[in-house]
Amino acid sequence: MNRNRLVLIVVGIILVLAIGLIAFQIRKQQETRSRAAGEAVTFSFAPSSQSAVVNNNFTINVSLSAQTNNITGVDIRLSYNTTLVDGVSFQPAGNFNTELINTITDSTGTIRFAAVNTSTTQITGTVPIGTLTVKGTGIGSGDLSLQSAQVTAEGIATALPLGVTAPSTYTITTGTTPTPTANPPTLTPTRTPTPTLTPVPPSATPTRTPTPLPTATPTVVPTSTPLPPTSTPLPQAPQVVLDILLNAIGNGGDIQTPGAAGNFSPINPQRNITFELYETPTGPVIESASSTIIFNQAQGKFTGTISLSTSLANGSYLVRIKTPRYLRRLAPGFITVTQNNPTPIVLSQTTLVVGDSNGDNSLDILDYNILVDCFSIDAPPKACTDPTKKLSADLNDDGNVNGVDINYLVRNATARTGE
C-alpha cells in the first residue's frame, strides 16, 4: 500500500473520531445546561372561561405543569379586575406541607401564595396548586392572570424557566332580565305672579376729610467698629451613632414578635453595614458609606458609629441600612446634618429583617432553597460545601442550619422586599 495513502487513511480515521468526540461533548454540555436550568414549567387556570352572576361566588383552579422537575416551592402572584370581582379565599391543594404566604389584597386586585415542600415526597407532573374563590361585584368581562411566579426544584439553585400562562376569562351578568318601569305623567306647573320691585333712592356720599401726614424725623446711623479676623476651623466630619436590632440575634425578634429574644452568642458579633443617604424616598443616593457594628450582649443589640464626608451639604436626609442576610431597611425619620458640629447625630433605632440568603433584597423561595440545601440535623446537608453558602443560610448565626432558621424565614415571609 502506498505510504501516502496509508497516512491519508489514518488522518481520516482520526478526523472521524475527533468529530464524533466533539459532537458527544457538545451534546453532553447541552444536557448539563438543561439539567442546570431545569425544564420549563407552566401554570394553567381551569376553567379557561366562564360566566357568573353578580353578587354570587365562583371558583378558578390553579395548576402547575412541572414536567420531570421535583418541585420544592412555588411563589405566585395573581391579579384580577377590582371593578368586577372581590377576592374571597385561596384554598391550597395541599401538595406543599409548609405554607409561607396566602394573602388577598382587594385594593390592588392581587393574590399571593407561597409554599414549600420539606418532606421527601416528590412533586412532579401536573400539580394542583389551589382554588381561588371570588365574588362578582360588577357587570362586564375580565380575567384572572399570572402576574409573576417563582418555582424551584430539587438540585437547581435558580428559579425554573416559565412557559406562557393563558389567563382565565370571566363575564359577570345580572342573571335576570330587568322589568321596564313605566314613566309617570308629566305635571304642568302652576304659574306664580312676579312681584313688582320698588326702587330705593341712592344714599348721599359723605365728604372726605384730608388726613395730615406725619413729619419725618432724621435717624442717626452709628459708626461700625471693625472686628478682628478669626481663624477658620478645620472641617470636622459629621458622626452618626448607630443603634441596630438584627432579627434572630439578641433582642432583634422577627416581624411577628418584635423584641423577642434570639441568639445572644452569635458566631459573628461584628457585622459590616452599608449606609446610604437620600433626600426623598424615591430619589438617588446622595452619599454612601460603610462601617461596622458590634453586638452588645448586655443590651441585645448592635451599636457603632459611621463618619460622613465633610463635603456633604447641610440638610435633612433619609437613611437606608443593609447588611448581609438582611433586607435593606429605611430608618425611621430623618437625620439632620450640620457640618463642623461636634455633636454626634443619633439615628433612631432600626430593626433589620432576616432571611435574604441570596442577597437580592427580597424574601422568596430562592432563599428557602439555600436553607434546604444546607439544612442538617441527623444527616449531612444536600448541597452545602461552600462555607459562604452555609453562613448565608444560618440566619440566627449559631453555626447550624436547622428548623430554627427555617422558622425565621417563614415568619418573615410577608416582607417580600427591602425598602
Mean pLDDT, all residues of the chain: 83
Backbone CA torsion sign across 29, 35, 37, 43? positive
Give yes or no for residue 232 having a pLDDT over 90: no
Question: Measured between alpha carbons, how far is 157 from 87 in angstroms, rounded to an integer?
Answer: 33
Cell, residue 160 = 425554573
What does the pLDDT read at residue 30? 45
Residues paired with 74 in a beta bridge = 115, 151
Does the N-terminal peptide bond of residue 47 adopt cis geometry, omega within 30 degrees of 0?
yes
In angstroms, rounded to a whole number, what is the distance separating the alpha carbons of residues 266 and 280? 35
325 vs 392: CA distance, rounded Å: 6
Q: Say how far apart CA 384 and CA 370 lie, in whole Å.
A: 8
Whether 333 shows a pLDDT value over 60: the answer reads: yes
Instruction: Note the pLDDT tens digit of each residue in 16-57.
Output: 555 555 445 545 444 444 445 578 999 999 999 999 999 999
Check pLDDT > 50 for residue 418.
yes
Mean pLDDT of 316-322: 96
Cα dihedral across residues 173, 175, 176, 181: positive or negative: negative
Q: What is the pTM of this model?
A: 0.61
Residue 42 has phi, psi (to 5 degrees) of -140, 135
Mean pLDDT of 228-233: 62
pLDDT value, residue 391 = 93
- Quick one: average pLDDT of 116-125? 84
The answer to whether 92 and 130 are in contact (CB under 8 A) is yes
Residues 370, 46: Cα–Cα separation, whole Å: 33
Q: Which domains are assigned to the chain?
A: 42-173 (2.60.40.680), 239-411 (2.60.40.4130)
> pLDDT per residue over 39-50, tens digit each?
899 999 999 999
- Written as nine digits, the cell of 324 is 448581609
- Going across the sheet that includes 126-136, the strands are 42-46, 57-65, 126-136, 85-92
How far apart CA 396 and CA 386 sit, in angstroms, is: 18
User: Which residue in the block uniquely carries the three cell numbers 442546570?
Assistant: 36
